[in-house]
Structure 1
Amino acid sequence: MYNVLVVDDEPMICMGVATVLMNAGIDIAEVFAANNGFEALDYIRLEKIDLIITDIQMDLMNGIELIETIFAENPMIPTVVLSAHGEFEYAQKALKFGVKEYIVKPVIPAELVRVVRNLLAERDSQLRSLTDSTFNQKFSFEEMSSNRNHILNELVSEGFSDSEAEEVFQYLGRRFDGPFYCLLSIKLNLAKAGLHGADIRSFRDRNLLRYAALNVIEETLNGWERIVFHSGSHSISVILQFTMEEMNNSITRLNEQTMTAQLLHNHLRKFLNMESVIGISRIREGMQSWVDIAKEAKEAVRWSDVHKDHNVFYIEDFDKYENPPSAGGIPVTKQILDDNNSFIQSAIQYIDENYRQKSLKLQEIAEAICLSPNYLSYLFKKIVGINLWDYVTKLRMEEAKRLILTTDMRRYEISDEIGYESPEHFSKIFKKHFGVNPSEIKS
């Protein structure tokens, strides 16, 4: 059974979409309705959501901002956009961030049902058919060590001069002139993978898995400007390019590259049953930076020796350490443990001071303590024992309970005081947290 979230600032549209879907004979357990982006984020953090249908033009937080934030926090959720005719070009900005379909308003029920049914029934089919066909087709080992891989590895390890840039573009068959670049180094665990997680012992099976992994990565990054290539017997490298306009866009500041890496890790696990560790470089300017970003990404991967239960590592999260793992390996020292605890104490202090803020986001908290959102989420859960948004909700609910018991504030006043836009939404979360409605607390 699937859960669908509908987001629109017109309650009648939410109600209409929910009614159509619940009576369409689709395997849907519940349709949640949010009247703004902040309510939508609460549902995503508290419920298992399989599909999101969102309007583009909304007050408080528009649909593009919502889609970008969802991608930063949970990149696996597919999204359908509701848009007017004139909004299509604007909505295209979200193509990278999980948008699968557009439905033009006014919504035609039959079209809505068709789109939702297809996405829920076939959301995995494209990648599954891709990996299935990979395992069934013939390929040559020469392809795995192709001239293209050799040249690209040479470029990121030794570099090239400005005068050779045009020659590189000609060889690649397209321009790739950024001018900003980031590199992901993906270390594959080829010892055990496949449908049943069997031990992989043959040379052919290992290479077949490498080939399948590259296909999954290429398909996941469809819509991105990227170069993907094998960079060792157990590694694949991805170079992502960013334009000047993209660097000025807020989503880049949301550490888009860490969320993309997490999505790649999730897809490799989901479709190949393959574990991986991904290292992420900084975003740097110029093709001559390729050598530096390759070194940074490989250095980031080595931090998996310290955090063996984590899988995505952004190099800037570890800048303060003078002796990186490549200098001989890092044991889990008291300094690292103290630093991690210090980061989380700073995060807790920031949350305690700002949890009433309606627009509070993971990225804002991460920026305040100088960590990537991905690494902050990992450390918070590991050290505190609950995830970050459960902690925020707990603070809000405890404060709401205190205000109900000790003041004469009305429900809408309490809702506004602790960071919720609507009293109805606040009441739903309160009941989910305490098991009773706010009005029943005093009785």
Structure 2
Amino acid sequence: MKILIADDETPIREWIQFSIERGNHPDFEIVGVAENGNDALELALEHHVDTVITDIKMPGMDGLMLMKKLLEKMPYVSFIILTNYAEFSYAREAITYGAKKYFLKSELRGQDILEALLEIESERAALLEAKEEDCYSNGYLDIFTCCHRLDDDAFIRLFWQKHHFMEELDFVVVALRSRSSEGQKEKLDGFIRDQKLHILRPVLRNESIYLILQAESGELLKEAVQAFVSYWNEREPGIIVSSRSLHGIDRVMGGIEEAERMLQYDFFYKKGFFPAKIAENGERLERNTIKKECRKLLNRVMHEDRDTLNQDIDQWFSFFVHVPCQDVGWAKEACMSFVMGLEEIFLEYCKNSQEEPEIDRGWTLDKCREFCTYIIEELYSDNYLNYSQSVREAIQYIHDNYGNQDLSLKEVAQAVYRSPEYLSRRFKSETGKNFSVYLMLYRLNQAKELLLCTDMRIYEVAYAVGYAAPSYFSKVYHDYMGVTPEMTRCQQSDRKSE
């Protein structure tokens, strides 16, 4: 097993490496160590790693972005996630990308890393033992090697020829999530037997099934796909997607990738058929509007009455009633980011809460909305409404006026009809932060949003969040955020390139 370690803290990197080497496992090889996400991506692709142990928070490209980019190129790579942050929302998003384990650094032991690696090795060994002539023991075709040799055209061609791909025919890839139900493979085989057109052995990759149908014309393929949708919905209703009609053995893997992207619709819908050609024609989402409304909603939590806030959250989720395929991945991330932001507010207000949110691999749009409802109810309950009215009003005033360079404790105190001395004491007592520290951190977080989501120049961002001197802003940003504004801006470039 080729292992890569990525963490911006040198002691952590060295300790993990030492722990693995001390375990003296003959099949564990550390092929690379990186201190940021960009270097980790380059090393992972260079060495075709099997497992990545990565911090979530790193300079440049963070761990979640590293996972996404690697899975696009190497869909079978396994991940172990490390973080200093107790917010389980980060684990939730990592789990959705397929992280095998999630550890808090403060609680991590060397034995934990070794046990996680052994578990991953055991899973991989079970898959390999089950294979017979490119197939799993359950009869599904395994394309693991194809995914690792995408640049080897000769190998790809030979593989699909061996499994009876007919180059003269058009094809379409139909995909669905494996439900591990009894007789699922037999039901697929039953459909294949009853059809007169050419259908390859079903492919299994991760938790998805791909059926490659071939026919002499696009019209025949369309009829075959509709027949499958009807057949399958009678037996196991759920999301079914398809690629466009394609031609050529060199496009098979691309067709599978397109169908896999379409499978992200299962986040938004419980059932239905979504062909790529039709989904492409949908009206694009207004991404900037959605992001702005998201930030506004999060800023209003605890400063707006509960019913109004719930109505506005419902309105925000209605942006995703119809999602075109070009936006499906982005829309899923936007929903998860909103959940993460709301959960961070919950953890900030409810410091004494001992209940850890459940980490679930099956998050959907409905579950996100239900979770938000739960969080709002908890935040607005008598047990957790910990801030006094004057402090809540002061916080809201800061959020509304942070761009004013002259904003001061005296001004805020006047706005909420309290003396500066009284407000200062209450603010520190209830929030755990001095007024000046809270204001600074809020400004810096707003600056981070502007650096990630706009093309404003860094000095323009400094002015926008209330700093008269851009050089001083850069110093404060680096001291408290751990990275320079320029490094945060690089993350924006990474997201755009994605």
Q: Provide the TM-score with structure 2 as the length reference.
A: 0.34
Answer with 1 or 2: which has the greater Rg.
2
Higher relative CO (Cα under 8 Å, sequence separation at least 6) belongs to 1
